[in-house]
Amino acid sequence: MNIILMGPPGAGKGTQAKRLISKYDIPHISTGDMFREAMKQGTELGLLAKRYIDEGHLVPDDVTIGIVRERLAKDDCQKGYLLDGFPRTIPQAEALETLTKEIGREVEIVVNIDADEKELIRRICGRRVCKACGTPYHIDTMKPKVEGVCDVCGGPLIQRADDNEEALRVRLGHYYEQTKPLLDFYAKRGLLHSFDGTKDLNVLLKEIISLIEAKNR
């Protein structure tokens, strides 16, 4: 099954991605991973992307699309793939549509996991992480045994600089501004399926799997 996974920060997209790739034995592909892999392998497009990144520029769409094509054409995508963080714009979505048709690996489902802004803010702003070992916590749902102290190594728990309400509202504003046209793009093609990210993780996973299984029949 060829899947695009979408959702704002804090909606639980990462958790569901891990579960889906495990169940269906398909690769979890993000643009960051693709860039790193292409640069590590020293491909022509990878070296070109590295030049832009090293100079502090955004990688142009034509280079990004070329790297996506290389990645989706690999053998481990024969059974499917889960594409995360791409496309981000309508031109990218149109280019992805063209290239996946050309290589016979068209997108079959777009899973959009969403939650209301209040819940997203609660989830993100409640995050804490151990400064020493990186173990994650949450002030509501994953509390340490001793407040402010890591259970694993005893290090201090901190809140990341961008895990505050003001920064998150800016990130969400950019996300929705960018994503709304994409949701419309995929809805018109009958590929978009939206899910409530506030539901229990296991209930949400079952709903997504039910959709995938129905599509596979």
Q: Cis (ω within 30 of 0) for the bond into 8? A: no
Same-domain check for residues 51 and 147: no
pLDDT-derived band of residue 14, with 50, 70 and 90 as boundaries? confident
Percent of the chain, pLDDT > 90?
65
Same-domain check for residues 87 and 152: no
Whether 122 maps to a domain, the answer reads no
The pTM of the full predicted model, rounded to 2 decimals, is: 0.84
Same-domain check for residues 43 and 103: yes
Most confident range (mean pLDDT) of 38-52, 57-71, 90-104 is 90-104
Alpha-carbon distance of 123 to 121, in angstroms, equals: 5
Looking up tokens 């996946």 gives 100
Asked whether residue 43 carries a pLDDT value surpassing 90, the answer given is no
Annotated catalytic residue 171: yes
Whether 178 maps to a domain, the answer reads yes
Same-domain check for residues 16 and 43: yes
Tally of structural domains, the chain? 2
Annotated catalytic residue 71: no
- Element (H or E) spanning 5, and its range? strand 2-6
Whether 121 maps to a domain, the answer reads no
β 109-114/2-6 pair status: parallel
Give backbone dihedrals phi and psi of 47, rounded to 5 degrees, phi first.
-65, -35
Same-domain check for residues 77 and 7: yes
Same-domain check for residues 110 and 188: yes
Active-site residue (options: 40, 131, 160, 189): 160
Active-site residue (options: 13, 69, 71, 128): 13
Q: What is the mean pLDDT of the chain?
A: 92
Same-domain check for residues 193 and 103: yes
Same-domain check for residues 59 and 145: no
Secondary structure of residue 15 in the 3-state scheme: helix
Identify whether the C-beta of residue 103 lies closer than 8 Å to the C-beta of residue 69: yes
Alpha-carbon distance of 101 to 128, in angstroms, equals: 43
Domain that holds residue 148: 127-162
pLDDT-derived band of residue 186, with 50, 70 and 90 as boundaries? very high
Same-domain check for residues 154 and 176: no
Identify whether the C-beta of residue 168 lies closer than 8 Å to the C-beta of residue 124: yes
Annotated catalytic residue 122: no
Identify whether the C-beta of residue 130 lies closer than 8 Å to the C-beta of residue 150: yes
Annotated catalytic residue 79: no
Asked whether residue 58 carries a pLDDT value surpassing 80, the answer given is no
pLDDT-derived band of residue 36, with 50, 70 and 90 as boundaries? confident
Active-site residue (options: 88, 105, 143, 199): 88
Annotated catalytic residue 13: yes
